[in-house]
Structure formats: C-alpha cells, structure tokens
C-alpha cells in the first residue's frame, strides 16, 4: 500500500464546519479515487456508445470494455465463468432479482426461506415480498449476544420445506464475518441453494465464490471505491439457467413476436435495457485500485486499524460495543453510556466526523439487542490512526456535553 | 408574548454564543427544562414518525390556546423540541398556523430543518400546525 493513498481521494481534502473531514461512514459508501473518477469521465469523453448491437467502431469498443469488465469481475470473485456475472445496480437489485425469479419458479405455498437475524433490510424485504406472493414463510437463524450466528440452531431450522438460505457474508452493523462454507456445506447436503449478501465483505476480504461454494453472491461497487449504481449478481450457471428472467426489455431477448418471445442466453437474459456501462467500468477501476494497493496488505492495515480503534474506544470507558465476534471487518457499532446514538452522531458531525447512527437498516437486529440504534464507525484503506485519535478526543467532548 | 416576540427573544439568547459547542450545550440545557409530557400521553399515537430519535407530542386546547407538551429520548432533539414548544405553546391556533419560523435559520440551526436529518423537527412542526388547524375548526 503506498504511503500517500489519501491524495488519490480528492473529497478527503475538504473541511466541514471548518474542521478537517474524518470520514468514518465507509460501510455506507466509500469515497472514490481519481482513478475511478477519471475512468467514468473518460468513458463519456472517448467511448460512449450503446453496447452489444452496434456495428460501428464506438459501439464495438464500448462493448469490448464492458465485457472486459465482466471478465475482471469474474476473476475478482474467482468465479468459473464470465456469464455467471450479471451486472446490476447493486446488492439490493441483485437480491431482488433472485428473490423474484427464484420465488416465481421454485416457491410453493408452505415453503420456507431461511434468513439470519443480522440481515440488512435488503436481504429481508425482497424475501418477504415474494413469500407473501407465493404463500411461503421466513424462518430466522438467531445470533448470539456476541453477534455471531448461532449455527447450532441451523440443522433444526432446516426442514424439507426449506427452499433457500440467504445470509450476509459480513454484517453491516456488527462487522461479524459469517462462516459461509459451513453454511453452504450443510445446505447442500439438503440440496438447498445459498445466497450470500457480500456488500460489506467485498471491500475487506478476498472472496472466492467457488471456494465458498455459494449459489448466488451479490455486492455493490460503490462500497468498494466504485461508482454508485454499480454492482453484480454472481450465480452458478445451472441456477441462472433455471431462473426465469427478471426484467423484460431490449438485450435480454433472442426473438420477440407478439405470440411470445424467447430469451437470450446468459448473462444477457438478466440484463434488460441499456446497462450502466460507465458504472461497470468505474467499478472495475475501483476494484483494480484496491488490488493495486495490495489487497492482502490493505486487509492487514484495516484489521490493525480496527483493533486500534476498538482498544481506544474501550479505554475511554462507558462504551458498549455491539458486535464482538472473533472475526470482524472494519465496522464498530457502539453506544456511549446512556446517550442516544443520534445525539452522539449530531455532535460528532459538528466536529467534522462522519459516522452513521440509527438502526442501519437492520431493525430486527436492533430489536433483538433491545437498543434504539448504534453509532457506527466504519473504515476504509485511507483512514488513519491519527483520525481514530481525533475521533476518540471528539467522543470525549461529546460525552462531557451529554453528561 | 406573541410568537414573533418569543422568536426574537430566542434569537437574542443564541446570539450570545460564539461557537457551535456553546450553542449545543445551551440547546441540551433547554431540552432538560422541557415541559415534560405526562407518562400517560407517551403513547404510540403521540409518536411523531420519521425520527431517528423518538418524539412524543401531546396537544390540548384550553381557553382558546393550544397547550403542547412533548418529550424525546435524544437530548439534541429534546432541545429543538423545547424551542418549538416555547414558541407555539399557549398561542391561539390562528397564530400557530400563520407563524413563520425563520428564527431557526437565524440561530444557525437551519440544518435541522432539512427533511433528510431524520430528527423529526420538520414532522413535528407539521404536526403542531395540524393540531392548531384541528382545534381552530373545532374552536
């Protein structure tokens, strides 16, 4: 990892309320390096054209770049085939795609979908929608007080009506990294496919979908230094082949007649309409940026920063950390004494520190912990120990003010 | 005092503070002196939606005036709530409906009026005006 990585991120140089910006809201979205900004703008300046159908020079160039990005994504998550990579607008759209198409084909009244208590609303609500339509129901794998999945419960929760297990790779609230392989192994013994929400894992872990042996994997580019509106769905070929299309439109068809249409092959079957080409190219640029820094080194750096921040917080006293799993990504959720997270976040903001407060789109998890929400600091490769020190000093002030 | 007079009083109080920290300390203090809502009024029905922090608002109509009491589980929110109560409580429905609230901007707390702040100040003001309209119609 190079020394002056922060200079790649122009947004970080600014001041807010006259104080240097400390951006600790990376689990919501990361900032974008120049390499990504330039790639998106270069595409519009040099290559903009609609892809896949044009016979002309620009269209072919744009098509090649788009498909190169797909291959890059395949390699990045270690998928077997490039047509197992579907470009989407992000994790949420990817999950909605699977929930809708899988539900239509495979869910019958009385069937069950297994989720975990630590899912983001994006991995709850799409399943609720489809279960309601199909007369299926949702069962929940509970979490332990430390914030790990209680996998002892899993065998008892699987029934002959279980049709799919959807689980987050890393929790956006607790930081917990879940043992996906254990889950896929057990699930596959019962021929149950597993969908993994990788939104919080991909920025911080090397993902190998073949090793995890998951059937679907979803993530968003904007949480890994890429543009908003970028993301992918990975699906094993046999599953993607088995699912009906999600959206209809151009690109996803082979032949259209008013008597009926036939659908295009993978991956185009799931990519109706003009895709967000610059977002896909920008996502590739963001991931490439991460790899260029030395992903292993970034992982070690973030791990050390997480430990440093955790220790500093605990040393302050009167801090309750929510989520103390053995394996965590760079996310710390905490409460300061009896203070409301909203107060803490509002006052930190006035000192130039961006954190997230509230339920983090995981209301069932908040309910389980019986808390109104948390303050969440989440890190990226450009965050520093000096920023953590400033954050702790600011928190001390906040504590005094709210005492 | 009229709404206008109270607003001016608040603006002059806040003008004493040089930096944001004094201002927020004062806001938090104000919150602590909020006319507390009676426990029995802290109901699901009186909760104002759209807030990260909980805000309960109760309104009564006595002698042509609207009496507001409220509470919140967050201190900054409570401070904001207390300002609104100070301005609106004990006023006639007509005055509440017609009030313009530029004092919030003048004391440098305009950012809390942004609908994305999720502190519920906007929803609370709306709710207070709704109560005033309802009381005026009953009036």
Q: Are A95 and A218 in contact (CB under 8 A)?
A: yes
- Whether A50 has a pLDDT exceeding 70, the answer reads yes
Point out the least confidently predicted range of A20-24, A36-40, A239-243, B116-120.
B116-120
User: Are the beta carbons of B52 and A339 separated by less than 8 Å?
Assistant: no
User: pLDDT tens digit string along A188-247?
Assistant: 999 999 999 999 999 999 999 999 999 999 999 999 999 999 999 999 999 999 999 999
pLDDT at A128 over 90: yes
Same structural domain, A97 and A233: yes
Among the ranges given (A124-138, A214-228, B34-48, B66-80), the one the predictor scored with the smallest mean pLDDT: B34-48
The mean predicted confidence, pLDDT, of chain A is 96
Of the candidates B25, B73, B75, the beta carbon closest to that of A372 is on B73
The pLDDT tens digits of the residues spanning A326-365 come to: 999 999 999 999 999 999 999 999 999 999 998 889 999 9
CB pair distance less than 8 Å for A340 and B74: yes
CB B107 within 8 A of CB B80: no
Are both A175 and A310 inside the same structural domain? no
Yes or no, beta carbons of B21 and A397 under 8 Å apart: yes
- E-strand ranges in A127-283 read 137-141, 162-168, 194-197, 216-220, 231-235, 253-257, 260-263
Structure tokens at A267: 């991956």
Residues of A in contact with B28 (CB under 8 A): 401-402
Q: Are A8 and A373 in contact (CB under 8 A)?
A: no
Which residue in the list A131, A214, A218, A361 is annotated as catalytic?
A361
Alpha-carbon torsion A339, A340, A344, A347, what sign? Answer: negative
Are B25 and A402 in contact (CB < 8 Å)? no
pLDDT tens for B108-134 read: 887 776 666 556 788 889 999 999 999
| H helix intervals, A166-236 | 180-189, 209-212
Same domain for A362 and A239:
no
Lowest mean pLDDT among A381-390, B4-13, B106-115: B106-115
Q: Is residue A170 located within the same domain as residue A105?
A: yes
Closest residue of chain A to B73, computed from CA coordinates: A340
| CATH assignment of the domain containing A315 | 3.90.1150.10
Asked if residue A252 and residue A370 are part of one domain, the reply reads no
Q: Are residues A99 and A199 in the same domain?
A: yes
Q: Which residues contact A315 (CB under 8 A, 6 or more apart)?
A: none
Q: State the pLDDT confidence band at A286, using cuts at 50, 70 and 90.
A: very high
Which of the listed residues A247, A275, A291 is the one where a domain comes to its end? A291
| pTM for this prediction | 0.94
d(CA A67, CA A72): 9
For residue A200, give its domain range. Answer: 37-291
Counting one residue from chain A and one from chain B, the pairs whose CB atoms sit within 8 A come to 41
Q: Are residues A273 and A308 in the same domain?
A: no
How far apart CA A309 and CA A384 sit, in angstroms, is 10
pLDDT at B93: 96
Say yes or no: A226 contacts chain B, CB-CB below 8 A. no
The residue among B84, B86, B90 whose CA lies nearest residue B128 is B84
Q: With an 8 Å Cβ cutoff, are B75 and A341 in contact?
A: no
Where does a domain end: A238, A257, A291? A291
Query: How distant, in Å, are the alpha carbons of A35, A37, A226 from that of A10?
Result: 11, 10, 14
Sign of dihedral through CA atoms B123, B127, B130, B132? negative
Q: Is A371's Cβ below 8 Å from some Cβ in B?
A: no
Q: Say if the Cβ atoms of B76 and A347 lie within 8 Å.
A: yes
Was domain B3-138 assigned CATH 3.90.1010.10?
A: yes
Task: Please state the rounded mean pLDDT for residues B53-68.
Answer: 93
Which residues lie closer than 8 Å to A287 by C-beta, 6 or more apart?
A72, A73, A76, A221, A224, A225, A226
Answer yes or no: is pLDDT of A305 > 90. yes
Q: How confident is the model at residue A394 (pLDDT cuts 50, 70, 90)?
A: very high
Q: Say yes or no: A91 and A132 in one domain.
A: yes
Q: Which residues contact A159 (CB under 8 A, 6 or more apart)?
A: A112
Q: Are residues A266 and A324 in the same domain?
A: no
Which residues in chain B are contacts of A360 at CB distance < 8 A? none
Q: Between chains, do A358 and B77 touch, taking CB under 8 Å as contact?
A: no
Q: Which of A134-138, A276-280, B19-23 is least confident?
A: B19-23
Integer CA distances (angstroms), A338 to A74, A124, A371, A397, B29, in order:
46, 30, 11, 15, 17
Given a contact cutoff of 8 angstroms between Cβ atoms, the answer to whether A267 and A84 are in contact is yes
- If residue A334 lies in a helix (H) or strand (E), which one and from where to where? strand A331-336
Question: Given an 8 Å threshold on Cβ–Cβ distance, is B25 in contact with A401?
Answer: yes
Query: CA A254, A260, A264 angle in degrees (round to 5)?
Result: 20
Candidates A17, A342, A373; nearest CB to B76: A342
**pLDDT at position B122, please?**
83
- Residue B51 is among the residues annotated as catalytic for this protein: yes
Are the beta carbons of B76 and A17 separated by less than 8 Å? no
Same domain, A163 and A308: no
Identify from A337, A339, A342, A399 which residue to disrupt to test chain B contact, counting B C-beta atoms within 10 A and taking the largest count: A342
Q: Which residues of B touch A (CB under 8 A)?
A: 20-21, 24-25, 28, 52-54, 73-77, 118-119
Q: Nearest CA of chain A to the CA of B48: how many Å?
A: 15
Domain count, chain A: 2
Catalytic hit among B3, B37, B51, B109: B51
Q: What mean pLDDT comes out for the span A366-382?
A: 95
What pLDDT is stored for residue B69 in this prediction? 93
pLDDT at A274 over 80: yes
Q: What average pLDDT does range A277-304 have in this prediction?
A: 98
Nearest CA distance, B120 vs chain A (angstrom): 12
Cβ pair A343:B74 closer than 8 A: yes
Residue A287: per-residue pLDDT: 98
Contact between A352 and A21 (Cβ < 8 Å): yes
Q: Which of A77, A48, A94, A41 has the alpha carbon at shortest distance from A231?
A: A94
Rounded average pLDDT over B37-48 = 89
Per-residue confidence (pLDDT) for residue B117, from 0 to 100: 59
Mean per-residue pLDDT for B93-104? 92
Single out the residue in A242, A259, A291 at which a domain terminates. Answer: A291
Element holding A129 (H helix, E strand): helix A125-134
Contacts of B25 in chain A (CB under 8 A): 401
pLDDT digits (tens, 9 = 90+) for A133-166: 999 999 999 999 999 999 999 999 999 999 999 9
**Same domain, yes or no, for A9 and A118?**
no
**Can you give the pLDDT at residue B49?**
74
CB contact under 8 A, B52 and A373: yes
Q: A373 contacts in B (CB within 8 Å)?
A: 52
For the segment A89-107, the average pLDDT, to the nearest whole number, is 98
Distance from CA of A10 to the nearest CA of B (A): 25
| CATH number (domain holding residue A229) | 3.40.640.10
Average pLDDT on B97-114 reads: 83
End-to-end CA distance of chain A: 41
Using left for φ > 0, alpha for ψ between -120 and 50, and beta otherwise, residue A197 falls in beta
The dihedral sign for the CA sequence A87, A93, A95, A101: negative
Shortest distance, CA B2 to any CA of chain A (angstroms): 31
In A293-360, where does DSSP find H-type helix? 295-316, 341-350
Angle at A140 between CA A139 and CA A142, to 5 degrees: 155
Of A17, A341, A342, Cβ closest to residue B119: A342
Hey, which residues 193-212 in chain A have their CB within 8 Å of chain B?
A: none
Claim to verify: residue A267 and residue A298 sit in the same structural domain: no
Say which range, A102-106, A150-154, B20-24, has the weakest mean pLDDT: B20-24
Residue A348: closest C-alpha in chain B: B21
List A residues 320-339 in contact with B (Cβ-Cβ < 8 A).
Answer: 339
Q: What pLDDT sits at residue B136?
A: 92
- State how beta strands B55-62 and B65-72 pair: antiparallel
Q: What's the pLDDT score for residue B119?
A: 61
| Nearest chain B Cα distance for residue A97, angstroms | 29
């Amino acid at each position: 990892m190079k020394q002056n990585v922060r200079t790649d991120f122009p947004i970080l140089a600014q001041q807010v309320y006259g104080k240097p910006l400390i951006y600790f809201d990376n689990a919501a979205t990361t900032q974008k390096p120049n390499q990504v900004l330039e790639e998106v703008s270069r595409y519009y300046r040099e290559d903009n054209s609609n892809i896949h159908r044009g016979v002309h020079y620009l269209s072919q160039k744009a098509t090649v770049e788009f498909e190169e990005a797909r291959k890059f994504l395949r390699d990045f998550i270690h998928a077997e085939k490039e047509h197992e990579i579907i470009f989407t607008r992000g994790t949420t759209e990817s999950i909605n795609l699977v929930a809708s198409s899988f539900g239509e084909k495979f869910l019958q009244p009385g069937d069950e979908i297994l989720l975990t208590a630590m899912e983001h609303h994006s991995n709850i609500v799409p399943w609720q929608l489809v279960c309601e339509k199909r007369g299926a129901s949702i069962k929940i794998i509970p979490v332990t007080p430390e914030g790990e999945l209680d996998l002892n419960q899993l065998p008892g929760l699987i029934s002959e009506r279980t049709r799919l297990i959807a689980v987050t790779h890393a929790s956006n609230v607790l930081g917990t990294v879940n043992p996906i392989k254990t889950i896929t192994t057990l699930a596959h013994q019962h021929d149950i496919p597993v969908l993994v929400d990788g939104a919080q894992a991909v920025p911080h872990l090397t993902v190998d979908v073949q090793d995890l042996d998951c059937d679907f994997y979803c993530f968003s580019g904007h949480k890994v230094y890429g543009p908003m509106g970028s993301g992918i769905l990975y699906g094993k070929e046999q599953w993607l082949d088995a699912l009906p299309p999600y959206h209809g439109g151009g690109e996803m068809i082979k032949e259209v007649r008013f008597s009926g249409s036939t659908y295009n092959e993978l991956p185009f079957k799931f990519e109706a309409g003009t895709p967000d080409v610059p977002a896909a190219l920008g996502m590739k640029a963001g991931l490439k940026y991460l790899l260029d820094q030395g992903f292993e080194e970034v992982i070690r750096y973030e791990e050390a920063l997480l430990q440093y921040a955790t220790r500093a917080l605990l040393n302050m006293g009167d801090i309750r950390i929510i989520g103390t799993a053995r394996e965590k990504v760079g996310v710390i959720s905490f409460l300061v004494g009896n203070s409301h997270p909203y107060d803490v976040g509002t006052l930190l903001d006035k000192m130039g520190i961006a954190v997230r407060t509230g339920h983090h789109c995981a209301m069932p998890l908040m309910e389980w912990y019986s808390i109104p929400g948390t303050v969440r600091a989440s890190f990226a490769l450009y965050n520093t120990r000096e920023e953590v020190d400033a954050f702790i000093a600011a928190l001390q002030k906040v504590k005094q003010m709210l005492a | 005092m009229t709404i206008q007079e109270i607003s001016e009083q608040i603006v002059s109080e806040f003008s004493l503070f040089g930096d944001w920290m004094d201002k927020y300390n004062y806001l938090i203090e104000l919150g602590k002196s909020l006319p507390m809502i009676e426990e029995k009024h802290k109901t699901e029905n009186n909760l104002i939606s759209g807030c990260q922090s909980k805000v309960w608002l109760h309104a009564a109509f006595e002698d042509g005036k609207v009496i507001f009491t409220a509470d919140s589980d967050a201190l900054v929110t409570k401070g904001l709530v207390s300002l609104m109560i100070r301005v609106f409580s004990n006023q006639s429905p007509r005055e509440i409906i017609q009030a313009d609230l530029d004092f919030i901007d003048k004391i440098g707390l305009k950012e809390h009026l942004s609908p994305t702040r999720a502190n519920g100040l906007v929803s609370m003001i709306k709710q207070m005006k709704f109560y005033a309209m309802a009381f005026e119609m009953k009036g």
